[in-house]
Amino acid sequence: MRPGNRDNREESVAVIGMNDAPTRPASIQAQTTAAQRRASEPAQPPCVLLVDDIPANLRVLYESLNGRDYRLLVANGGAQALEIAQRSRPDLMLLDIMMPDMDGFEVCRRLKQDAGTADVAVIFLSALDEAADKIHGLELGAVDYVTKPFHPEEVAARVEAHCKILRLERELGQRNRQLELVRDRILHSMVEAVVGLDAVGRVSFVNPAAERLFGLAAEHLLTRDLSDWEPTALRETAQRVLAERRELSLDEVALPRPDGSTLPVELRAAPIADAADTAGVVLVLRDLSERRRVEAKLHRTSDELHRSHRELQAAQMQLVQAAKLESVGRLAAGVAHEVKNPLAIVQLGLDYLEQVASFDDVSAQVLADMQQALSRADTVVRGLLDFSRERDLDLKPCAVNEAIQNSLQLVRHELTQRNIAVRTSLAEAVPERPFDIDKLQQVFLNLFMNAMHAMERDGTLSIRSSFTALAGNELGPHARDAGFLPSDRVIRVAIEDTGPGIDPEDLGRLFDPYFTTKRQGEGTGLGLSVTRNIVTLHGGSIDLENRPEGGARALLLFHPEFARAEALSRPSEATLRARTARLRSANR
Amino acid sequence: MSKKRILLVDDEPALTRMLRLNLEQTGRFEVREENRGTNALRAAREFQPDLIFLDVMMPDIGGDEVAEQLKQDPALSKIKYAFLTAIVTKRETGTGAAEISGETFLAKPVKRDELLAVVDELLDE
């Protein structure tokens, strides 16, 4: 106790060095320690509070440190030291032990009790050189001890050393907090649910994804321990990881949720290993339901693809079948026609002979047999012709647009794969008329596939239908043969591609049976011949030409009326024209 | 009563001959054969037939075209004609001649009785 110095004590309460410490709002002070504040304000010099009840000592201390990069505060007693410490949060305190109002040990004890000042580093100053005192001081949380009488250099060196330690500690702390922030941010933004378990299986941390996955708030999850975990597989995996200290995973677990549903979840569990022992397990759970949905969708899409592929194959088979029938029918029609004239000659010859000559019974029988044979031959020939003719058309009123769209559906996938764009302009005004829609679809399918094979990859397939007056320059050879005239009202379908077009040498032969420009295996060569035949049977025409801007164009024309009744029992004018056109082209 | 005149146009000479023989055999018809479609019009002008049988499929000019030319020619447009052809079948025509799209068709092969019945029918009108 040094009562003689009391007067000076008040005076020496001064802030020396920089300006007054900024006064922070109490709420923030209560939440932040001096170290945190300082850490967030780099470049501020360390603040050192010098505490001694003897002014002379204070002066020596002050002078030892003055001129160095410190902010210096002084207090002349324990109570004042605590007050300044609470207000100004010094980094370091040089604390005299023997003081009259409150000794240094008590000051230190109170400092350490108060969270706001607990991290102030204390260096005791005392004449006491007893080991017990030093130990007592260090036990109270002091960092060092300087014995009086002190050498200014020693004081400066120790303060310097401790400030350096403090700075490093603070930097370390700051780095740690940054790392924690980064870790929290990573955990927070992870799509996967992360659950940390400690060594005995208690939940130690969870991220928001885990709350969503389990359907439970963090505070509920954090009260759980391993025995609560469902399903069993999850629990057992975590236990095995703890016991075996190696990573384990489960491809799929059904995770029960509070609402009674289950989620398919993929689990990876890894040990959190401390240097020596296993400190816990981290569980990473991934919700598989979205992936399962996508997989299911992919399966469906793939099924659809397979189905449309099968449909296309079936349609192609039909085309091939139709092509075969067509070729047989064409042959039959040609043969039948050629045979009819000789039959007619023999028939009339026999009839004539029967009129002009008289026969005995045997000769009469010969004539009768010949007549019968003739009649049989005629029946066979008629059968061949009927087979090859329009008897097979299943006519119902429909619009070409419907057939176009149906056929397009069959090739749409392949068009997409080949990056071929489709432009359709199908006029609603196109009237219905009797068509065999299946056969008509074969026509369009055939033409679309030809266009697709011509373009191979990339390009545009455009399809336009209209009901319009026929322009004279649109009358191709087949259209003329089929009896179309300029300004006829016609159903017109134009199919255009952006391929290489048709070799002019081939233009005249395109519709010949077995003529093909495709690679072996890609076409039978009967496609266009069948196509024209079907169109012809419908009283229509089809002509192919090269477009001036490149690519090929197929132009189909149909009359808006088509008499089915006639087609069955009496052929229509168009049918007759078509027949003669066909026979003529066969004779050419 | 004078004999009715019938012109037969078909590229098959044996057929026109058989037709002619059967028709002439009745003693009621005068018949001329023409085996080239391109000569059909000239033959019609010279012969002035009451009836013409036309084949459709002929190598030089089709019977349908011959019929068109007949109709266009004022001197010949009154002459009756029928197509005797293999492009229609008996299933389509039935027995005898049939009206198809405004034209008369007779399917090959034709029997004598059938032929005579059709001729009578056509000349009767």
Please report the DSSP string for A410-425 in residue order: HHHHHHHHTTEEEEEE
Using alpha carbons only, give the angle A530, A536, A540 rounded to the nearest 5 degrees.
125
Q: Output phi, psi for A394, to 5 deg.
A: -105, 90
Token output for B9: 């146009």
- Give the neighbor-by-neighbor strand order of the sheet with A71-75: A15-16, A71-75, A47-51, A92-96, A121-126, A144-147
| C-alpha distance from residue A224 to each of A196, A202, A215, A249, A532 (Å) | 11, 6, 14, 21, 79
Test B112 with A348 for CB contact under 8 angstroms: yes
Test A348 with B59 for CB contact under 8 angstroms: no
- Mean pLDDT for back-to-back runs of 10 residues, chain A (588 residues): 40 38 35 48 79 90 88 92 92 90 91 89 81 83 84 88 88 90 86 86 86 85 75 85 86 86 89 70 89 89 84 75 69 80 93 91 91 87 67 79 90 88 93 89 89 91 94 88 86 95 80 63 62 85 92 93 58 70 66
| C-alpha distance from residue A279 to each of A201, A233, A244, A344, A464 (Å) | 10, 21, 13, 108, 74
Q: How far is A468 from chain B (nearest CA, A)?
A: 25
Query: Please, are residues A54 and A77 in contact by the beta-carbon 8 Å criterion?
Result: no
Specify the 3-state DSSP secondary structure of A438: helix
Q: Output phi, psi for A59, to 5 deg.
A: -65, -45
Q: Which residues of A touch B92 (CB under 8 A)?
A: 569-571
Buried b or exposed e, range A328-363, using 16+ CB within 10 angstroms: ebbebbbebbebbbebbbbbbbbbbebeeeeeeeee
pLDDT of residue A561: 84
Nearest chain B alpha carbon to A375: B109
Test A580 with B56 for CB contact under 8 angstroms: yes
Q: How far is A489 from chain B (nearest CA, A)?
A: 19
Specify the 3-state DSSP secondary structure of A134: helix
Q: Output phi, psi for A451, to 5 deg.
A: -65, -40
Length of chain B: 125
Identify the residue among B16, B91, B103 best suited for mutation to test binding to A, counting A beta carbons within 10 A and taking the highest: B91
Test B19 with A340 for CB contact under 8 angstroms: no
**Residues of B contacting chain A (CB within 8 angstroms):** 12, 14-15, 18-19, 21-22, 25, 56-57, 59, 62, 64, 86-93, 98, 100-102, 108-113, 115
Q: Has residue B52 been placed in a domain?
A: yes
Q: Please, where in chain A does CATH 3.40.50.2300 lie? A: 3-184
Closest to B91 (Cα-Cα) out of B100, B82, B81: B100
Q: Is A347 on the interface with B (CB under 8 A)?
A: yes
The structure tokens 């002084």 sit at: A74
Domain carrying residue B112:
4-120
Q: Which residues of A touch B110 (CB under 8 A)?
A: 344, 347-348
Nearest CB neighbour to A351, from listed B56, B89, B112: B112
User: Architecture of A396-587 per CATH?
Assistant: 2-Layer Sandwich (3.30)
Fold of A190-287: Beta-Lactamase (3.30.450)
Long-range contacts of A558-563 (CB under 8 A, 24+ apart): A558/A400, A558/A433, A558/A490, A558/A491, A558/A493, A559/A433, A559/A488, A559/A490, A559/A491, A560/A431, A560/A433, A560/A467, A560/A489, A560/A490, A560/A491, A561/A433, A562/A395, A562/A433, A562/A434, A562/A435, A562/A538
β-sheet bridge partners, residue A75: A51
Token output for A319: 């085309």
Token output for A344: 């007619």
Bridging pattern class, strands A15-16 and B29-34: unpaired
Q: How far is A391 from chain B (nearest CA, A)?
A: 11
Q: Has residue B63 been placed in a domain?
A: yes
Specify the 3-state DSSP secondary structure of A77: coil
Q: Has residue B108 been placed in a domain?
A: yes
β-sheet bridge partners, residue B116: none
Q: Which residues of A touch B56 (CB under 8 A)?
A: 576, 580
DSSP A445-508: HHHHHHHHHHH-SSEEEEEEEEEEEPPGGG--HHHHHTT--TT-EEEEEEEE--S----TTTTT
pLDDT of residue A26: 34
Q: Please, where in chain A does CATH 1.10.287 lie? A: 292-388
How far is A355 from B22, CA to CA, in rounded Å?
8
Reported as a pLDDT band with limits 50, 70 and 90, residue B1 is: low
CATH superfamily, domain at A3-184: Response regulator (3.40.50.2300)
Domain of B100, CATH number, reads 3.40.50.2300
Residues 6+ apart with CB under 8 A from A200: A225, A226
Max Cα distance, chain B (Å): 38
Which helix (H) or strand (E) segment is A369 a member of? helix A361-388
Q: Which residue has the higher pLDDT, A266 or B88?
A: A266
How far is A204 from A191, CA to CA, in rounded Å?
19
Q: Check residue A501 and give left, alpha or beta (phi > 0: left; psi -120 to 50: alpha).
A: left
Q: What count of other Cβ atoms lies within 10 Å of the Cβ of residue A217?
A: 10
Reported as a pLDDT band with limits 50, 70 and 90, residue B73 is: very high
Test B15 with A345 for CB contact under 8 angstroms: yes
Split into its structural domains, chain B has a count of 1
Nearest CB neighbour to B18, from listed A348, A576, A584: A348
Token output for A28: 């923030």
Query: Please, are residues B81 and B7 in contact by the beta-carbon 8 Å criterion?
Result: no
Q: Please, where in chain A does CATH 3.30.565.10 lie? A: 396-587
Q: Has residue B125 been placed in a domain?
A: no
| C-alpha distance from residue A266 to each of A249, A259, A296 (Å) | 8, 20, 17
Specify the 3-state DSSP secondary structure of B55: coil
End-to-end Cα spacing for chain B: 17
Q: How far is A549 from chain B (nearest CA, A)?
A: 38
The beta strand positions in A354-451, using DSSP E, are: 396-398, 420-426, 433-435
How far is A88 from A299, CA to CA, in rounded Å?
70
The interaxial angle of helices A289-356 and A437-455, nearest 10 deg, is: 120
The structure tokens 């260090």 sit at: A138
Q: Has residue B24 been placed in a domain?
A: yes
Test B12 with A345 for CB contact under 8 angstroms: yes
Length of chain A: 588
Long-range contacts of A314-320 (CB under 8 A, 24+ apart): A315/A410, A315/A441, A315/A442, A315/A445, A316/A449, A318/A442, A319/A442, A319/A445, A319/A446, A319/A527, A319/A530, A320/A524, A320/A526
Q: Has residue B13 been placed in a domain?
A: yes
Q: How far is A577 from chain B (nearest CA, A)?
A: 9
Mean pLDDT for all residues in chain B: 91
What percentage of chain B reaches a pLDDT higher than 70?
98
User: Architecture of A292-388 per CATH?
Assistant: Orthogonal Bundle (1.10)
Q: What count of other Cβ atoms lies within 10 Å of the Cβ of residue A321?
A: 12
Test B111 with A570 for CB contact under 8 angstroms: no
